[in-house]
Amino acid sequence: MAFLLPEQSIEETFLASTGPGGQNVNKVAAACQLRVDIFALGLPPYVYRKLKLLAGSKMTAGGALIVTARTHRSREANREEARRRVTALIDQAHERDAPRVKTKPSRAAKARRVDGKKERGAIKKNRGKPSAD
């Protein structure tokens, strides 16, 4: 399912790019910075929460998702790349995680854990200075 970005929630700016382009880099603003207002998309709460986790530092406190594409030489290619990244991120956020099934450790597993702790404690106890006895 490819999420369609509504045009009214997108703001594009073009920046002077680094990377491929030779001397053209200094003359043309080819990098595309895409700013998407996440609240305007009307996403379900679970999608918003997961998107916030996936986006990390790309998401601002005001709910804007900022993606910068500068891998191509042309504006159009960078614009398409930025839009593709945003839709991929939103599509990934729509995928629900499998619910966690709670399990209890077995009695043997608990015993192994306690034995391991006792072993480590004995090792640490023997590290001290030798007694004068």
pLDDT tens digits, residue range 64-91? Answer: 999 999 888 888 999 999 999 999 999 9
Helix H or strand E segment including 31: strand 31-37
Q: Tell me the pLDDT band of 114, cut-offs 50, 70 and 90.
A: very high
Query: For the residues 42-50, what does the mean pLDDT come to?
Result: 90
The alpha carbon torsion through 115, 119, 121, 123 (nearest 10 deg) reads: 180
Judge whether 50 lies within some domain. Answer: yes
> Looking at residue 17, which CATH number applies to its domain?
3.30.160.20
Query: For the residues 39-61, what does the mean pLDDT come to?
Result: 90
Using a 10 angstrom Cβ sphere, with 0-12 exposed, 13-18 middle and 19 or more buried, the burial of residue 2 is exposed
Judge whether 109 lies within some domain. Answer: no
Is pLDDT at 32 greater than 70 in this prediction?
Answer: yes
Judge whether 70 lies within some domain. Answer: yes
pTM across the whole model: 0.67
Judge whether 55 lies within some domain. Answer: yes
From residue 133, alpha-carbon distances to 66, 81, 83, 97, 127 in Å are 69, 75, 76, 61, 16
CA–CA dist 24, 100 (Å, integer):
52
Judge whether 31 lies within some domain. Answer: yes
Judge whether 48 lies within some domain. Answer: yes
Number of domains in the chain: 1
Domain range holding 52? Answer: 7-94
Residue 68 · residue 55 · CB < 8 Å: no
Is pLDDT at 105 greater than 90 in this prediction?
Answer: yes
Judge whether 121 lies within some domain. Answer: no
Judge whether 113 lies within some domain. Answer: no
Reading across the β-sheet that carries 31-37, which strands appear in turn?
Answer: 10-15, 31-37, 64-69
Better-scored residue on pLDDT, 112 or 61: 112
Q: Tell me the pLDDT band of 42, cut-offs 50, 70 and 90.
A: confident
Q: Which residues contact 52 (CB under 8 A, 6 or more apart)?
A: 59
Mean pLDDT of the chain: 87
Q: Torsion-angle region of residue 109: left (phi > 0), alpha (psi -120 to 50) or beta? A: alpha
Q: Tell me the pLDDT band of 29, cut-offs 50, 70 and 90.
A: confident
Q: Which DSSP symbol is given to 20?
A: S
Predicted local confidence at residue 118, as pLDDT: 97
Better-scored residue on pLDDT, 23 or 50: 50
